Amino acid sequence: MKELPTSIGKLTCLEKLDLLRCSELKELPTSIDKLITLQSLNLVRCSELKELPTSTDNLTSLERLDFSWCLELKELPTSIDKLTALQLLDLLGCSKLKELPTSIDKLTALQSLNLLGWS
């Protein structure tokens, strides 16, 4: 899969989105911010993905965000602190990601943060 259709935002009751190994996916559409019931976003091995849209701060139900082996991921949105339900953030092997947003300290529900593989 090279791109996720913008119509994904119409799936307003979606709780889990698994994009495992969509290695040609470079970006997510901004309409992803309409998925307000989304609890799990699996982006493992989306090796071309560079960033999340800034509009993802509407994903307040998101509990699991897995970027493992997103080799081109360079930054997380500064508004990550809006993901108040986030319990797991996996950044395994995201070697181009050099720093976390300072707002990450506001993720008080965060239970697991995997930073293995950082340079």
The HSE-up count of residue 32 (CA atoms within 13 Å, CB side) is: 24
pLDDT band at residue 72, thresholds of 50, 70 and 90?
very high
Mean pLDDT of the chain: 94
Spatial contact of 54 and 31, defined as CB atoms under 8 Å apart: no
Q: Give a yes or no: residue 4 inside a domain.
A: no
**Distance separating alpha carbons of residues 80 and 53, to the nearest angstrom:** 11
Q: Give a yes or no: residue 73 inside a domain.
A: yes
Range of the domain at 102: 13-114
Q: Check pLDDT > 90 for residue 117.
A: no
Number of domains in the chain: 1
Q: Give a yes or no: residue 108 inside a domain.
A: yes
Tens-place pLDDT, residues 4-57: 999 999 999 999 999 999 999 999 999 999 999 999 999 999 999 998 888 888
Q: Give a yes or no: residue 6 inside a domain.
A: no
Q: Give a yes or no: residue 74 inside a domain.
A: yes
Note the pLDDT of residue 12: 94
Note the pLDDT of residue 2: 87
Note the pLDDT of residue 119: 62
Paired tokens of 7: 């119509």
Q: Give a yes or no: residue 32 inside a domain.
A: yes
* Whole-number percent of the chain with pLDDT over 90: 85
CATH number at residue 78: 3.80.10.10
pLDDT band at residue 73, thresholds of 50, 70 and 90?
very high
Q: Give a yes or no: residue 17 inside a domain.
A: yes
Q: Give a yes or no: residue 8 inside a domain.
A: no
pTM above 0.85, yes or no: yes
Q: Check pLDDT > 90 for residue 118.
A: no
